[in-house]
Structure 1
Amino acid sequence: MKNIFRNILAVALISGFASCTDEQDLKFLDNAAEFRILSPVSGDAVVLSPETPTNPGLSMTWEDMDYGTPTQVTYTVQVDKSGDNFDNPVDLVSTNNTYVTVTSDALNGASLAAGLTPFSQGGLEIRVKSTVGSPASEEKFSTVITYLVTPYSSELPKLAVPGNHQGWNPPTAPRIASSAFGQTDYEGYVWLDGGFKFVGPDAAGNYNWGNTDWGDDGSFSGVLAESGESDITATAGYYRVNANTTTLLYTIVPTNWGIVGAATPGGWDNSTPLTYNPSTQKWEGTVVMTAGGFKFRANNTWDINLGGDPDGDDSMNYGGPDLSVDTAGTYNVVLDLSNPRKYSYSVTLQ
């Protein structure tokens, strides 16, 4: 009888131990909220703007996390795209307070990193993680809210131009850029030499074969085809490249650049040629200039010419106003078209 009792007791103890272990496991895996976010509330929204980067983008308050003993608590605000369950949360800011204000610029960067689409409202899940000590331990989490954010991007969408000119390697290929986010009118200047194609980025912004790409439709009349079997071809030279992935049209125009104007040796009638430097990817020259106006133009005609930047978008404008120098002398002249739609120049007195 005693042996039977002992066996029953042993089974009970083992079962109890297993139950405790199961409960501990469940508690360890349980991400139930330990404290609450007080403001904002789910459904609140913000539209971010590049014109006001230092304005508040998010102001938050939350409850204290009580660890049962007086200790300094570190709070980290974490964000992730709605539906991603904080698989890869972005740490937005850390503080020892129970409140924080995040600038529009910082929130915008975190929103894009979390996967929100520029200029489109998306849900950003927000929680607060609390820890104590150094290194941080005893992680606890707040309730989760959904904040509706419309982020922005100052980065123009781009296509890569891989080809014979650079070894058919999309990650290192030169780029052409659209005029604005959401537009598909890509443009840029590229040294070409043989066949090439256009390759778009993947969701992470990487350019590789296997992404969407465009080639010639086989007619070689300036018509694109997605995953086109035919390479677009060009003889060796420096080209203005335009491609529209909506209209499926492209053009490549060979260009040789020079400087022209009252300040230059040829006046307004004849361009003083510049030389393309493949190492710097810039057009360069030493030019004796007088005080006066000038512009840059291609092929010694006015079909393609670049002047000043009256709209302030950090790029010289086609047909823009005259540029000028105030002092006569010998100048080092540089025209940089390597950054698509961010064309720039310098004239440096020697």
Structure 2
Amino acid sequence: MKNISKLLVLLFSLIGCISCQESETEKAILKSEVTANDLLPLSATSFVLSEEKSEENFDSLTWTPTDYGFQSAVNYTVQFDVEGNAFATPINLANTFELTSGFTVGNINKSLLEKGVAGGTAVNVEFRVVSLINEEVAEVYSSVEKVEITPYAPSVLSPLYINGDDQGWNFDTSLDFNVLGIGEFELIGTFTNGSYFRFFEEKSWEASQLGYGDFEVVDANLTEAGDGDDNFIFSGTTGVYTMTVSYATKTITMTAASTPELYIVGDQNGWSFDAVTWLGGGKYEGTVTITNGQIFRFFTVDGDWGSQQYNYTYFMDGTLSDNLTGTTEGDANFTYVGADGTYKYTVDLYSKSFIIQE
């Protein structure tokens, strides 16, 4: 009998504790209608950007918190778009859990140019803040602030690189795009079926990165990895392809291509055609035995004097090692002006770099 009494006392105690806990716990209830928060006005209504201030802060945007009816960590995304586009293709400038954010002059200038706004041309843009607490809850859009911005034409166009399985996730072997224009890129490279990769705007893990979700039209050879890094998977047949990327249209296209060829032809080999090893993109490397004063140039088809040529004129505005000079007249050959010997050399047709490493 005593044991039964003890059990009853214990049972009622447990029920009492559970009741206390339930009464002390507040349930999070989402408001049926979440009101848009307010983006506060910027510090000015008109901005003229300059390259000298590209690393400086453009402005600080501040907004009121979004009220969901309960305390929650809200992920805020700052967006902008050209006025009249109704945020159809917005640019994400920043993500934060705070109520304020800034970004550099260079960042917003780059984004405007990639939207097709010409340097020196004033354009009206709109800013807004997108609030998100959960993928199951609809996004909330703040009020919109409008300003006029005049971007600058950069002296150097921004680059783009591929890093992934085919490059060993090593920036020393990344595929470098040929920059065709602002936000327009092209390269030729080897892609392996099943390989993962993504784009980097600098050769650094801290650089801005672009993945599958950043594009609206993606070539059928590419599929979404669905991983945390938003990687691409190359799902086509292993081989050499030309890839083009457009920021303006948010598109990626790929077409099958032949392996590029390059030949060094000159005094050092009796004007025969010696193949240079293709590394991917516009990069090549080779070894040459050469003496001071010898002249030469590059061709793209073995034994074909009428094929495309790369000579001193092509590289003269790029990067040349100190042991190379040349002429712009006639065949515009290179002239080697170093110590006699056998040396490794590297060529990059995209960046117009040619280095003989003594």
Give the TM-score category using the shorter length: 0.3 to 0.5
TM value normalised by structure 1: 0.46
TM value normalised by structure 2: 0.45
